[in-house]
Chains A and B, each alone.
Chain A
Amino acid sequence: MAVKTLTINGEQYSAQEGESVLSVCRQNKIPIPTLCHLEGLSTVGACRLCLVQIEGIPKLLPACTTKVEEGMVITTSNQKLDKYRRMIVALLASEGNHVCAVCVANNHCELQDLAYEVGLVRVRYPYLFPKKSLDATHKEYVMDHNRCVLCTRCVRVCDEVEGAHVWDVAGRGIDCEIVTGLDYSWGSSQTCTECGKCVMVCPTGALFEKGVTVSEMEKKKDFLKYIITARQKREWVAFTNE
């Protein structure tokens, strides 16, 4: 594997061919906010939070899907990028019904963390207050569409890791919604194996375990790395959570 050298925020770094810009940044502790990306799942480049500026390319590119190239000169943070990131989180906040104070995921929520990370203090867009439902028909878990940010992590983990493909996205545009089967209630799904992977990868309080109350829903994501290294390399790595 060839080694590539590149410049990030004025510093020189080296990376493996085929690696993503995000992965190089993560290894070198350069902060880039992400939401749709999750190590171990396919990348979709959908949330646009990880956009970076690359010299010579007129468009902003997502760090998660962009592969490193020799001599790349990358800026991960500047006034414009920071502003756009704030705006993206603000858009998410206005799209759903997020009330952290009463949420099971309060203090353990990636959306909340993102808001702090990008420095969002005020949402200037009118809240859309969509009428969304809550599905508590599953015997172990609950899906609260009000808190879903449509990152599709649950869809991907269920398809790619568990292999059940219970979830998918239905509808289009602002009306997109995560569904099970033909928009069945989750509890009546015959394909759900109750493994709980979707609950664990969900960044917000949209998917949670039954019986938890405010601030109690902690998401454990380390299993992904464990399973995937086991599958790919037949190696069972240490299982720690953060």
Chain B
Amino acid sequence: MSPVEQPKHPSGDNRFKLLDRAITKHQARGDALIEILHVAQGIFGYLENDLLIYVARSLKLPLSRVYGVATFYHFFNLKPKGEHTFVLCMGTACYVKGAEQIQTALEEHYQCRFGDTTKDNSVSFITARCVGSCGLAPVAVLDDAVVGKLTPDESIRRVEQVKLSVPEVVS
């Protein structure tokens, strides 16, 4: 990895203006790091190195500290996600109702472990803890829709279904 330690120049990229606004709102305080990373990920989709450098410089924090925080919290992605995401709930209720079998089935079928994205970059498989729909366990969130009372076969069918649908244009 090349250690480009100069932040990307923000002029011309409107997204940085949005980020700057959030940074100003927090008076560029170091203790707002997590808030800023949330905003940055919201704007850019994931936290690539240049972005982390930009945040570190703006908040006047050491790079390793920013990296340490970004890798501590599971919510932050340092890599881009696939076109679709399949978030399988691994909360207790879903586990009791068989979420593990779904995980195994999907991992075998797509040859992709949870936490990773398929080779063709089409689907990211992610696990979550309780999405708050325990009544419908086992539950997954496929792109933005909650799907409940899943079975292994049904899960594969659902994934195939979204894969066929026209991918949204990512701006």
Asked if the two chains touch in their complex, CB atoms less than 8 Å apart, one says yes
Interface residues of A (CB under 8 A from B): 159, 164-172, 179-185, 188-191
B residues 62-91 touching A (CB-CB < 8 Å): 62-68, 71-72, 74
> In the docked arrangement, what's the CA distance between A166 and B62, Å?
7
Minimum C-beta distance from A29 to chain B (A): 38
Given contacts A184-B3, A190-B3, contact A179 B72 (CB under 8 A): no
Known: A165-B62, A182-B49, A182-B52. A170 touches B67 (CB 8 A): yes
Which residues of chain B have a CB within 8 Å of any CB of chain A?
Answer: 1-3, 5, 49, 52-53, 62-68, 71-72, 74
Return B153 CB to nearest CB of chain A, in Å: 33
- Set of chain B residues within 8 Å of A190, measured between Cβ atoms: 3, 5
A169-B68, A170-B68, A171-B71 known; A183+B1 contact, CB < 8 A: yes
Set A171, A172, A179, A188: member contacting B64, Cβ < 8 A: A179
Nearest CB in chain B: distance from A40 CB, A: 20
Q: Are the C-beta atoms of B65 and A165 separated by less than 8 Å?
A: yes
Interfacial chain A residues near B1, Cβ < 8 Å: 182-185
Q: Quick one: given A171-B72, A188-B3, A189-B3, are A182 and B67 in contact (CB under 8 Å)?
A: yes
Is A182 in contact with B63, judged by CB distance below 8 angstroms?
Answer: yes
Residues of A within 8 A of B67 (CB): 168, 170, 179, 181-183
Which residue, B2, B3, B63, B72, has most C-beta atoms of chain A within 10 A? B63
Give, as a whole number of angstroms, the nearest-CB distance from A96 to chain B. Answer: 20
CA distance A165 to B69 in the complex (A): 14
* CB-nearest residue of chain A to B66: A182
A156 to chain B, nearest CB (A): 13
* Distance, CA A118 to CA B83, complexed state (A): 54
A88 to B73, CA, bound (A): 26
CA distance A181 to B53 in the complex (A): 9
Q: How far is the CA of A190 from the CA of B67 in the complex (A)?
A: 16
In the assembled complex, 11 residue pairs joining A and B whose CB atoms fall closer than 8 Å, in A order, are: A165-B62, A168-B68, A170-B68, A171-B71, A171-B72, A172-B71, A172-B74, A183-B1, A184-B63, A189-B3, A191-B62
